[in-house]
Amino acid sequence: MLTNKSKHKSGQFNDYGELIHLQKKYFVKQRQDLLSLLPTNRSYNSIIEFGCADGTNLSFFSEKLNIPHDQIFGVDICSSIENNNKFKFFHKSAEEFLSQDKNSYELILLSDVLEHIYNPWKMLTQLKSKLATKGCILISVPNLQNLNYLNAVNSGEFNYTSSGLFDETHVRFFSLKTLSNYLEDLGYTILKTSFRPDHSLSKIQQAAQTHLLENNHLDIKLNNLTVRLDKNNINLYMGQQVLICATY
C-alpha cells in the first residue's frame, strides 16, 4: 500500500534565494550512479558542482577522475563548510554565481538541484556557455512518474515533507521525457540516461519483474488509477530519480 501521510509542519524554511548559514554539516551522498553515466573515453580537468553541500560528492568525483586541486569548485546557497582545503567554495545562489562567473568547466554536476530552481530553463541555457568543448553535464532530479507521486496526486494525499520526493522546497517537477525534451530544445545532446532506484518500491518492483518474466504487462491499481507496466517502462514508474548525462 502506497501512502504519503505526513506529520511534517510545512513552511519552516528560508525565502527563495536567501543565503543560509548552517550550524551543522550539510551532507550529500557520493553519486556513483551519476559517475557511471560519464563517457569513459574522455578526461576531465575541471569540475563544478552546484548544491555541493559539504563537498562529499564533489571530492568523490574529483578523486575518481584525478581532477587538479585548483580546478575543483563548489557552489551552494547553504554554508556549513569550515576550513575547507579540498576545493574552492562559493556561498552563493546558483543564479547569482552564474550572473558573475566567466569560467568554463569540463564537468558540471547538478545533483538534486534543478527542482529547487525557480527558472531551471534559464539556468540550463546559461550553463551551455560554461561547458567546455566535449564537456559533460550530469543531472539528477526526482522522477515525476514515480508511483508514489502518481498515487499521491490520485488520492489527493500530496503532502510535502522536509526531504525526499515530497521535499517542500521543490518548485519544479520533471519526468525523463520532459527533462530530455527541455535539454534537446536548448541544444544539448543526451549521451545516456538512467534511474536511481526507489527503495520504498523495491518489493513491488521485484514482484512486478517476476511477473513480467512470463507476461507482457502488469496492471497496478492505485485507487481508481491503473498503471500498466511492461519490461520497457517499469523503470519510468519505479525510479526515484531521473539521471541524465548530456553535452553541448
- The answer to whether position 178 is within a domain reads yes
- Looking at residue 82, what is its pLDDT? 60
- Looking at residue 171, what is its pLDDT? 96
Cβ-contact 27, 56 below 8 angstroms: yes
- The answer to whether position 168 is within a domain reads yes
- The answer to whether position 73 is within a domain reads yes
Question: For the segment 94-150, what is each residue's pLDDT rounded down to a tens digit?
Answer: 999 999 999 999 999 999 999 999 999 999 999 999 999 999 999 999 999 999 999
Cβ-contact 141, 240 below 8 angstroms: no
Strand partners, 88: 73
Of 228, 226, 231, 197, residue with least CA distance to 212: 231
Domain that holds residue 60: 20-146+157-197+239-247
- The answer to whether position 61 is within a domain reads yes
- Looking at residue 75, what is its pLDDT? 96
- The answer to whether position 90 is within a domain reads yes
- Looking at residue 191, what is its pLDDT? 98
Domain of residue 185, CATH code: 3.40.50.150
Cβ-contact 194, 237 below 8 angstroms: no
- Looking at residue 11, what is its pLDDT? 85
- Looking at residue 4, what is its pLDDT? 75
How far is it, in rounded angstroms, from Cα 140 to Cα 115? Answer: 9
- Looking at residue 23, what is its pLDDT? 61
- Looking at residue 21, what is its pLDDT? 79
| Number of domains forming the structure of the chain | 1
- The answer to whether position 120 is within a domain reads yes
Q: CA angle at residue 81 from 75 to 83, to 5 degrees?
A: 120
pTM listed for this prediction: 0.93
pLDDT along the chain (248 residues), means of 10: 72 85 77 97 96 94 96 91 80 96 97 97 97 96 98 94 94 98 98 97 97 97 94 97 98
**DSSP secondary structure string, the chain?**
---------TT-SPPTT--EE-SS-------HHHHTTS-TT---S-EEEET-TTSHHHHHHHHHTT--GGGEEEE-SEE---S--SSEEE-S-HHHHHHH----EEEEEEES-GGG-S-HHHHHHHHHTTEEEEEEEEEEEEBTT-HHHHHHHHHT----BSSGGGBTT----B-HHHHHHHHHHTT-EEEEEEEEE-GGGHHHHHHHHHHHTT-S-EEEEETTEEEEE-TTTHHHHHEEEEEEEEE-
How far is it, in rounded angstroms, from Cα 196 to Cα 67? Answer: 25
- The answer to whether position 52 is within a domain reads yes
- Looking at residue 24, what is its pLDDT? 67
How far is it, in rounded angstroms, from Cα 115 to Cα 99? Answer: 19
- The answer to whether position 125 is within a domain reads yes
